[in-house]
Amino acid sequence: MASKNKNKTLKISRETLGTLTLIKNQILSNFDKLMDENEIDEVIQSGYLNKELIPYAYIFAPAGEENQKIAKNAQFSQTLLLECEEKIVGEIIVTNNFRFKGYWKFFSIFEADASSSPNDELVGSFCISGLIKIYEDKIALIKNKIQTLKKELNLKKVTSLMLCANPFHRVHERLIRLTIDKADFLIIFLLRSTRENRLNHALRKKTIEYFINNFLPKDKVLLIDLENTTLFSAHKNPELECIAAYNFGANKIIIGQNHGSIGMFFDDNQAHTIIDKIRKNFDIEILVMPEYVYCNECKTIVSVKTCPHGQHHHIKYHSPTIRTLLLNGVLPPPILMRKEISSIILSDLFPNRFENLQQIYDEIFPNAGILETHTYEDFYKELAKLYQTGSLT
């Protein structure tokens, strides 16, 4: 690993590091470098590079006065270090530097995340093209692991599912189980969320890991944590989701019918969606799942396409509403969320809610007469059981 040299060190954000890592590992395309002017223009004009569909150009214009000084003076074959959160995380070997052109601002992969709009300040900034090296490359390890599993287990049907799990509720469980039933292996991508009033990433990861470890065959599921990129947040880039899933090794991806930005466009007077574009360019099956609800008549979770009963019988799984209950300390009914998942979330959100948790626990819930110490998770699990007691309701 190269030593730190302040004059030749670019300071970057976690999001930028995440995007560079995806580019380096050919997750967004087979092209694994920062693009030069000609490559950028080809992608913008045609949507393709080397006959491969690439929705966004890899235009690297590092923000900040010091970063721009380095970019302006960068020389061919020079090594520039990358610093993220006061740690050297990689390097770029420069092949060229050039100015950011105004018509590029809607096409940069570094501006494609759902949390930002095109940045006018980029116009005229200095860009760098070159080779990327990431020192602690977790994505490379994951990609190699999937390829090894595919060979060792002779996996033919590898399906992917991208979730924010904000929060993880019963419909997520249903989708996962339906997917595993028809696949040799399932890759679950946990997406970084940029929504307000969101549950933090570590907590959402904990809930999915709990579900996988306790209620799924672990040899058929792999969780990939995409915590360092917002490219897939709020499902605003379905093209990138499908391409990423394909390049991780999946040959099928599940998306919802209300998936953001699927959209429609016309080509040769024929209506198409982005999904059609992906199917044409990649050997990946895209399955669009219908909306799922709980029906009071069917007494189970059903698809709105197969349920004959009206909306007045349907309980919807609206994530922002369920999240509002949790953030206000309300235990969601088990029909919406598994009690173990609710307990994990509420015990994290309200770690010191009661002055004497043990006393409350002992005075409400049945016990075997043995003194035991209980956690907040234990408390919420037992409370959920009482809500399900039906003889007095």
Sequence-distant (≥ 6) Cβ neighbours of residue 272 within 8 angstroms: 264, 265, 266
The CATH number assigned to the domain holding 173 equals 3.40.50.620
- Domain for residue 26, yes or no? yes
Backbone φ and ψ for 298, nearest 5 degrees, come out as: -75, -20
Q: Which tokens sit at 165?
A: 């799990």
Let me know whether 39 and 172 are in one domain.
no
Let me know whether 157 and 132 are in one domain.
no
- Domain for residue 1, yes or no? no
Let me know whether 355 and 279 are in one domain.
no
306 is in which domain, residue-wise? Answer: 294-387
3-state SS, residue 153: coil
Let me know whether 151 and 284 are in one domain.
yes
Let me know whether 166 and 216 are in one domain.
yes
Q: Which of the listed residues 136, 170, 204 is the one where a domain comes to its end?
A: 136
Let me know whether 308 and 320 are in one domain.
yes
- Domain for residue 84, yes or no? yes
Sequence-distant (≥ 6) Cβ neighbours of residue 163 within 8 angstroms: 172, 188, 189, 190, 191, 208
Size (the chain), residues: 393
Let me know whether 26 and 147 are in one domain.
no
The CATH number assigned to the domain holding 112 equals 3.10.400.10
Q: Which of the listed residues 110, 136, 162 is the one where a domain comes to its end?
A: 136
| Residues 378, 381, 383, 388, Cα dihedral to 10° | -160
Let me know whether 204 and 332 are in one domain.
no
Q: Which tokens sit at 248?
A: 């991780």
- Domain for residue 3, yes or no? no
**Type of residue numbered 205:** K
Q: Which of the listed residues 136, 157, 192 is the one where a domain comes to its end?
A: 136
- Domain for residue 4, yes or no? no
Let me know whether 255 and 346 are in one domain.
no
Mean pLDDT by groups of 10 residues along the chain of 393 residues: 62 94 97 97 96 95 94 95 96 96 91 64 87 96 96 94 93 94 95 79 96 94 93 82 94 76 46 70 87 92 92 92 94 93 96 88 78 85 80 52
Backbone φ and ψ for 386, nearest 5 degrees, come out as: -65, -35
The Cα–Cα gap between 174 and 192 comes to 22
- Domain for residue 393, yes or no? no
- Domain for residue 362, yes or no? yes
The Cα–Cα gap between 57 and 60 comes to 9
Give, as one character, the DSSP assignment of residue 309: S
Q: Which tokens sit at 288?
A: 């669009």
- Domain for residue 2, yes or no? no
Chain centroid to Cα 28, Å, comes to 14
Q: Which tokens sit at 104?
A: 């590029």
Let me know whether 200 and 124 are in one domain.
no
Let me know whether 131 and 144 are in one domain.
no
| Residues 312, 316, 324, 213, Cα dihedral to 10° | 150
Phi-psi region of 186 (alpha: psi -120 to 50; beta: other; left: phi over 0): beta
Let me know whether 35 and 132 are in one domain.
yes
> Domain total for the chain?
3
3-state helix, strand, coil in the chain (%, to 5): 40, 20, 40
**Type of residue numbered 269:** N
